[in-house]
Amino acid sequence: MMKFSHFFTYGCLLMLSFLPVRCSENKPIEEVKTHQEAQAEESVIHLSEDEIAEFEITIGTAGPGKLQVHITVPGEIVIPPDNLAHIHPRFPGMVKEVKKHIGDHVREGEVLAIIESNESLTDYQLKSLIDGTIVEKHITRGEIVEADMSPHGFVVADLNEVWVYLNLYQKDLPFVKKGQKVTISLGPGLEETTGKINYISPIIDESTRTATARVSLPNPKGIWKPGLFVNGSIVTSEFIAEIAVPKTAVEILDETPCVFIKIDEGFTPRFISTGRENRTLVEVLSGLAKGESYVTRGGFTLKAELQKEVFGDDQHGH
């Protein structure tokens, strides 16, 4: 039979097992940071001014920022219909001379070809109706042409302005309105420009199940070539965040976002919570105070140095 003293000791241990476990600072254990997190936050990375310059580390001051919320949709560059001129012979005849070719820039009234009429056997001139670039040519010298020939003899396009047709999916339609700003891009690191939506089609295309948003773009240098596929980033709303940092400032430690704070001794990581974001900025909800100095670019180098310390010999600095 179990003695009373043994029973008493067993009962006390059983009761203690149901009490909440607390750390040495009287905090519940679930509130205690992991050893790695605590060590990271206590770590200070020391860099000389030369090293800061070598690693291209830039420092900014925490403060408010304007965040634009946007959606990105695919699109295509097209020629505005009114910027096209289809030019074909007025009378049947033989092409005696072709003066212009695909890619040539022509002025309104400039002669494109000379044709001898079958009826009068006299020559007449085929002239451009607009200023622009020849994008199609379908006649050659010695060819017999008809007045209603198809395709047309020449197609001239004014490419000083082009349109962008953006494809709007059903989920995007509630957020897209005329007048919204759009950034048009050929791809990451490539040419981009901005414009505004000036038209949204009132019907949905039956085959693609998309509506079309139109953006007009000046094209004096001919960069935006018809037929190119592009991306359109449409700003749907914007707001002022109390604290906003560039995406380049945010690193991930222990699966948690952090920024590196500049202190007198060097740099130290600070865990943060984030909110809304766009392509360039992130809203910081907590962990960073207005006026604090932090690393805006180059945090990856500091993270690498920190990981050497945490997983290496546990010695801080250089």
Tell me how far apart the alpha carbons of residues 107 and 135 are, in angstroms, rounded to a whole number.
Answer: 14
| Nearest Cα residue to 171 out of 281, 238, 72 | 72
Tell me how far apart the alpha carbons of residues 46 and 265 are, in angstroms, rounded to a whole number.
Answer: 7
Place 26 in a pLDDT band, splitting at 50, 70 and 90. Answer: very low
> Looking at the domain 29-64+242-311, which fold is it?
2.40.420
> Looking at the domain 85-157, which fold is it?
OB fold (Dihydrolipoamide Acetyltransferase, E2P) (2.40.50)
> Looking at the domain 70-79+160-237, which fold is it?
Elongation Factor Tu (Ef-tu); domain 3 (2.40.30)
Query: What average pLDDT score do residues 253-262 get?
Result: 92
Share of the chain above pLDDT 90, in %: 66
Query: What average pLDDT score do residues 236-244 get?
Result: 91
CA dihedral 222, 74, 170, 208 (to 10 degrees): 90
Q: Are strands 273-277 and 281-286 parallel, antiparallel or unpaired?
A: antiparallel
* Burial classification of residue 212, based on how many CB atoms lie within 10 Å of its CB (0-12 exposed, 13-18 middle, 19 or more buried): buried
Place 309 in a pLDDT band, splitting at 50, 70 and 90. Answer: low
Q: By the 8 A CB rule, do 46 and 265 touch?
A: yes
Q: What angle do CA 225, 98, 80 make, to 5 degrees?
A: 25
pLDDT tens, position by position, 51-100: 899 999 999 999 999 998 889 999 999 999 999 999 999 999 999 999 99
Tell me how far apart the alpha carbons of residues 305 and 266 are, in angstroms, rounded to a whole number.
Answer: 12
Question: Which of 10 and 283 is assigned the larger pLDDT?
Answer: 283
Question: Which of 33 and 51 is assigned the larger pLDDT?
Answer: 51
Supply the pLDDT for residue 178.
95
Tell me how far apart the alpha carbons of residues 302 and 260 are, in angstroms, rounded to a whole number.
Answer: 8
Place 233 in a pLDDT band, splitting at 50, 70 and 90. Answer: very high
Supply the pLDDT for residue 304.
87
Supply the pLDDT for residue 41.
52
Range scoring the smallest mean pLDDT among 54-63, 96-105, 304-313: 304-313
For the chain, which residues make up each domain, given as ranges?
29-64+242-311, 70-79+160-237, 85-157
Share of the chain above pLDDT 70, in %: 84
**148: Cβ contacts below 8 Å, ≥ 6 apart:** 88
